[in-house]
Amino acid sequence: MTPSKIVLYLCLSFIGGIFISSLLVVPKLIIGELFVLGVFYSLFFLKQRPILVFGICLIILAFGILRYQITLNNFENAELRNFIDFSKPIKILAEVIKEPDVRENNINLTVRIEELLINKIGIPMEGKILVTTSRYPEYQYGDRLKIIGSLKDPPIFGDFSYKDYLRKDGILAIMFYPEISQKPAESGSPSAFYGRILSFKNKLREAVNQSLSPPQSSILAAVILGDKRNISEEWKDKLNRTGLRHLTAVSGMHIVILTSILMSFLIAIGFWRGQAFYLTVGFIFLYILMIGFQPSAVRAAIMAGLFLSAQKVGRVSYSQRAVIFAGALMLAQNPFLLKNDVGFQLSFLAVMGIIYLFSIFQRWLKFIPQDKYLNLKNILSMTFSAQVFTLPILIYNFGYLSLVSPLTNILIVPLLPFIMVSGFIFSLVGIFWQFLGWLLSFPAWLLLTYLTKIIDWFYCLPFASLEFKISWQWVLIFYLILGYFVWRLKEKERWKFLDF
């Protein structure tokens, strides 16, 4: 048994512990028994490696269960929660730790509390809350605020628990339209540096809005900046029903496109492949900073790093184990992601789909000629592979199935690299020279207009989507069937995933 296989089993054991604990309340007695059994097998079967590894896996499984339970207990019993629905408004000092979420009539601020003020005495306090306030005055990342208001528990709307949704981000409570006074962030602080990056993002957003009109401008801002706030509810529904909502969320596909373009460009202008690799990683890191460290983008960046590393070391199977390792690391940092973050589930299922089905779709789409510039076969293989693995989760969470998705993706996804490149070019130029940026926006406008026309046409079809609900049992059955299907198709490869 190779070291890499042992690490894989340990990571799967930890993820399994998180999974079990997120669904069931595991008694401490059972956790203790897992520890005792694990220690027993580890100590008394040192020379029998498979049994030794099994014992360590039991210990790691127990650690996964404990990690979730301890994190949940700390969250539910946080000191700040004692002030939810307090008899009178409370005063807090807090810092804006995320780019403000600007809506049509208000703005949402994610703030980290530093102090609770009682009788003008500051009491150190930790925790994050979500503050909904008026759009004006404007607030920025890094602003330090004095807030007076009432803390509320996030509500439950039917089958949707807003509390669980916010839990994945560590948000303990919400506050509506409090009294706010502002203190500027200290100059030279990390938040000031990040604030300058977000300022650059705002300039790009302004350049897009000055050169294009909705819905083209809002879709492009989502595609290249991860800014979905200006997409109307009507267009969100259209994107959902036509199976193209994934285009507006910065994902692994977007990051892989960016890394491929950057690598090719840097090599073309004379950099060695190794130099291009490190520069590309640096650019991607700055890009993730710019779009606000969105969880989906961070996961996508990790996947892109794995993609580049796999290319650099020349191991295709490297990415398979690295994905599991990355997932275990993320869950160790935030175990709520597995149950409460649909984006986390979709991201990793999409990557696993690409890993296991990409080559299969390549064979099925062999009638498409290989073009080193457009790469239509690769793009479609990647898209369909990801969609097959994510389909049950999408139906389970959103209650519909897009019947036109295969056609719309064939017609639009191959153009995504050109939309991104043309969008970045004219918006960057538009920061310095608005008129030239407007002139250069024509290719992006043409592509985005084509995209919106395709979406409109397919959306109007009576059979565009099918609404229905499925239970988690059907989701499980689907993945069991899918696993068997993939195993049969890859039988000749004898699961290189486990034999590396």
- Among 18, 108, 105, CA closest to 68: 18
pLDDT digit string, tens, across residues 415-459: 888 999 999 999 999 999 999 999 999 999 999 999 999 999 999
Confidence of residue 497 (pLDDT cuts 50, 70, 90): very low
Return all residues near 86 (Cβ < 8 A) that are at least 6 apart: 150, 151
Q: How far is CA 392 from CA 157, 327, 423, in A?
A: 23, 20, 33
- Among 411, 422, 429, CA closest to 446: 422
Residue 336: is its pLDDT beyond 90? yes
Contact 4/500 with Cβ under 8 angstroms? yes
Residue 252: is its pLDDT beyond 60? yes
Q: Highest mean pLDDT: which of 93-102, 184-193, 319-328, 441-450?
A: 441-450
pLDDT at 432: 93
> What CATH number is given for 80-183 in this structure?
2.40.50
b/e per residue 272-283 (b: at least 16 CB within 10 A): eeeebbeebbee
Residue 71: is its pLDDT beyond 90? yes
pLDDT digit string, tens, across residues 184-211: 655 555 566 777 888 888 899 999 999 9
pLDDT at 287: 87
- Among 303, 454, 328, CA closest to 382: 303
Residue 310: is its pLDDT beyond 70? no
- Among 108, 98, 94, CA closest to 144: 94
CA atoms of 370 and 356, how far apart (whole Å): 20
pLDDT at 498: 47
Residue 173: is its pLDDT beyond 60? yes
pLDDT at 335: 94
Residue 314: is its pLDDT beyond 60? no
Confidence of residue 295 (pLDDT cuts 50, 70, 90): low
pLDDT digit string, tens, across residues 46-65: 778 889 999 999 999 999 99
pLDDT at 400: 81
CA atoms of 126 and 94, how far apart (whole Å): 10
Domain range list for the chain: 3-76, 80-183, 198-499
- Among 135, 146, 138, 137, CA closest to 107: 135
CA angle 455, 458, 464 (to 5 degrees): 125
Residue 1: is its pLDDT beyond 80? no
